[in-house]
Structure 1
Amino acid sequence: MKKIFFLIFLVILGCDLDKHEINKNTITIRITESSDNLELKKVRLLRLQSNSFALASRMDKVMFLENRIIVLDKLRENTIFIYDIEGEFINHIHRVGEGPGEYKNVENVFWNSFTNELVLIPMDYRKKLYFDWDGNFLREEFYEEQIEYADLVFLENGELVVNYSSMNAEDNFAIYQNGETKLTGFPYNPLLDDSPLNYRSVLSKIDEDDYLLTLGLRDTLYSVNIDQLFIVPKYKLDFGNELSFKDFNNLPNPLKYFMENDIYIGVMDLFQNETFISFSTLHSTGLQGRIYSKQTGKSYSTQELIENEVGHLGFEGILGITPQNEFAAVLSSGESGKWDFSLNPSLEKQFADFGQVDKEELILMLFDLDED
């Protein structure tokens, strides 16, 4: 009954918002404003210490805890790296195998603030591996729910879950609490859920009860209330493409069309503070960063901001947010293999203080923003 009510409520409210609220809350992807309107503030660099296991040369997720930084490298090293808040290396989690407490490939890692535990989700087994925040193994637990965890927020005695519906044809979204399914929604739709997107960081906290959510190729960001158990459209996403996503996925070869045409698809790496929303969108040229101002409704290119305010550098995405609500951009060396901070003397000095930095390394830039 809760699911039926949710679907009816979403359709009715969504139609009403389309006419009124959502039209003035449109986030443009293709069309962006000049980054001259933005100014970096409280900006600083953070270099993660090298370790004997591996160099931090790829990051898929960066979590900032009270006194730890957790880095997920799922594709290159299949490892979770743990640092203190200053970037000093503490430990790594690399328990590859088929036995208890082991995994073949890591899918994701999450932090349970209620139990103070890191929770690793493997790609290969229907289980969760639990660690303390220093990376010491605690236990493993198997689960029976038909969930392929794309994103997860731990609630008190429960979970807010985004499911990889393309892998199991189940609903995309669910809230579980006290052993019960409280709410599910967004049934699997192959025209919207089968895509080349990486579902990383698709849930973003607004406040204690509300989260922002993006799902597959849907052109809407939704607001989820975990107390009242409802979800409503919050922002309309205007990608500026010639084809709708349903028409795109109806093509004989959508991937070929994507690689050969100027098209933007999907949203991930979703983070926000009181004033701005940051996210990545996928283009044939690679990931494109966007920053949306909640106050003015303007969209900006993150790459353009860095190029105009910092220097010619590689941009791997904004992949986290600090407890102080600073965005965490992951920077790499420029096309020439050089690190260029020439447009920001403060950052240039900070970088010089690091000494020799390998061109394969990644550096975090923590910052907030002002808008003219």
Structure 2
Amino acid sequence: MKYVPLILIGLLFSCNRNTEPSNTTRPDVTRIDTIACAPEYDTPLDSIIEKIDYVKLRSTENNPIGEVDALWITPDNIVVADYNLSKSIFIFDRLGRLQATISRLGRGPQEYLSIFDVVLTPDRQRVAVLDNHGKKILYYDLAGNFLFCKELPFYAIGMKYFDEENILMTTYGLGADDPGLASYPNNNDLLYWVDTTMRIRKSFMPNPFNKNFSCKIPLVKQFGPSRIYATLAYSDTVYRITPQGMIARYWIDLSPVGGVSNLGKEATDEKTSELIRTTIPIFMGELLENDRFIIFKPLDTPAILFSKKTSKCYYLNNGSSRVLNYHLASVDFAHEDRFITVVPAYQLCNVIKFKDSTNIELAEEIAMGLTENDDPVLLFYTLKEPEADRQHK
């Protein structure tokens, strides 16, 4: 391996064992992988990195990328969405050269008031923008041209395409207080499958929390066309979502680290704030999956790298975290067999000041021609199975 990687930093939290009993309860399912948390293990990064690639994104000076909130990769393009700063969608070629920009903030029929989610349609040829405030979905092609718009019957905070006929919508959990759901019999559900006309086909994941609890929205992640997962906040079970329903797929065992999960009706903003403040391990649904591995990110305990091939867990503690004398916030996205992290240009420009001989070649190569005001750099990590003597489960 030529370079020691910049990866998984910032997934790693200090380990705080807690003596309070866990209320973690394993779900009664027959096909589920156990992801056991552990405080003591540590997997050196250089034992799991097979290759690192990078792409420097290049937008325009008058409309730079602020944050990368969504990232989609096609055979020809990299699609980046910035929801809150530039409020734009950028379409690059695979070398990071800008091809088109969708920047349509406004109240017109081809414009959006807000960006709550951005996805690609299953044919990978259209960009769908969920405008919660405008209560609509707008569609654009990869050249940035407006195509058409669909009105939303209820308020949605997220959307995912399973296929051309099935779209998963995530709601606020307003129930009957949402006029579009008031007459729907299962309006306490949080997830809804709709067809291309926005008609509800099926709903599931009932809201287990009190009406006033502010963290009732499930975290929904999509990796590949049909791999969609949903997890309730403060839960321990990751569900695979299909048009037929929910399948419990991963159980996060927080008991070895004294974690807490499945709060249900007892959850309040005050109680959950106290959990976070006292650094008791919890799971909020943060995970990333590629074709070979999954990274689970519980709070206040080491991140877990799970091998889909061997079903083994590898633990990433503080000893794995220092590369190029600074810490990355997190790996952010996944595509095919790689994980992707988004690194601000100014960090990579400054990092060459640190004479870390194991990383300086990569830092200098990326920093060549880069300025602090440039767009972020995408780092792509291909992982391998750790050495046998590093394996723990």
TM-score, structure 1 as length reference: 0.77
Q: 1:322-354, CA deviations, whole angstroms, 9 ceiling, x for partnerless residues? A: 3x43211122465995356753466335314x3
Find the aligned partners of 1:189 and 1:241 in 2 and give their Cα distance.
Answer: 23
Which of 191, 199, 215 is residue 173 of structure 1 equivalent to? Answer: 191
Structure 2 partner of 1:274: 291
Structure 2 partner of 1:187: 206
More strand as a share of residues? 1
Is residue 159 of structure 1 aligned with residue 167 of structure 2?
yes
CA gap of 1:238–1:53, structure 2 versus 1, over 3 A, is farther
What percent identity do the matched residue pairs reach?
20
Find the aligned partners of 1:132 and 1:154 in 2 and give their Cα distance.
Answer: 19
Which of 337, 340, 351 is residue 366 of structure 2 equivalent to? Answer: 351
Q: 1:156-199, CA deviations, whole angstroms, 9 ceiling, x for partnerless residues? A: 22213333326856412233347664432111222599455986
- Give the RMSD, CA atoms, in angstroms: 3.7
Between stretches 261-270 and 192-201, larger displacement belongs to 192-201
Helix, strand or coil at the partner of 2:147 = strand
Choose 1 or 2 for highest CA Rg: 2
Is residue 44 of structure 1 aligned with residue 61 of structure 2?
no
Find the aligned partners of 2:75 and 2:200 in 1 and give their Cα distance.
Answer: 31
Structure 2 partner of 1:121: 130
CA gap of 1:223–1:252, structure 2 versus 1, over 3 A, is closer
C-alpha deviation, 1:74, in angstroms? 1.4
- Residues 135-150 of structure 1: matches in 2 within 5 Å? 135-144=144-153, 146-150=154-158
Contact 2:64 2:86 in 1 (8 A): no
Is residue 317 of structure 1 aligned with residue 330 of structure 2?
yes
Q: 1:252-276, CA deviations, whole angstroms, 9 ceiling, x for partnerless residues? A: 6135414522134444564322321
CA gap of 1:93–1:321, structure 2 versus 1, over 3 A, is same
Structure 1 partner of 2:380: 366
Which of 221, 233, 245 is residue 248 of structure 2 equivalent to? Answer: 233
Find the aligned partners of 2:87 and 2:121 in 1 and give their Cα distance.
Answer: 21
Contact 1:212 1:222 in 2 (8 A): yes
Helix, strand or coil at the partner of 2:143 = coil
Find the aligned partners of 1:104 and 1:41 in 2 and give their Cα distance.
Answer: 43
C-alpha deviation, 1:249, in angstroms? 5.7
CA gap of 1:264–1:196, structure 2 versus 1, over 3 A, is farther
Q: Which runs of 5+ in 1 are unaligned?
A: 1-13
Helix, strand or coil at the partner of 2:120 = strand
Helix, strand or coil at the partner of 2:328 = strand
Contact 1:42 1:367 in 2 (8 A): yes
Find the aligned partners of 2:191 and 2:60 in 1 and give their Cα distance.
Answer: 38
Structure 2 partner of 1:5: none
Find the aligned partners of 1:33 and 1:187 in 2 and give their Cα distance.
Answer: 36
Q: 1:176-226, CA deviations, whole angstroms, 9 ceiling, x for partnerless residues? A: 347664432111222599455986652334xx7554333333210112344
Find the aligned partners of 1:133 and 1:178 in 2 and give their Cα distance.
Answer: 20
- Residues 82-121 of structure 1: matches in 2 within 5 Å? 82-114=91-123, 116-121=125-130
C-alpha deviation, 1:369, in angstroms? 0.6
Structure 2 partner of 1:9: none
Q: 1:273-331, CA deviations, whole angstroms, 9 ceiling, x for partnerless residues? A: 23211354556x9xx86532232431433986563xx4234424333233x43211122
Greater relative contact order (CA < 8 Å, ≥ 6 in sequence): 2
Helix, strand or coil at the partner of 1:95 = coil
Q: 1:92-150, CA deviations, whole angstroms, 9 ceiling, x for partnerless residues? A: 22211222122222111110023721000113021111100122222222132x35132
CA gap of 1:259–1:15, structure 2 versus 1, over 3 A, is closer
Between stretches 30-39 and 361-370, larger displacement belongs to 30-39
Contact 1:303 1:315 in 2 (8 A): no
C-alpha deviation, 1:72, in angstroms? 1.6
Contact 2:170 2:191 in 1 (8 A): yes
Find the aligned partners of 2:71 and 2:146 in 1 and give their Cα distance.
Answer: 20
CA gap of 1:132–1:304, structure 2 versus 1, over 3 A, is farther
Aligned length in residues:
343
C-alpha deviation, 1:364, in angstroms? 1.1
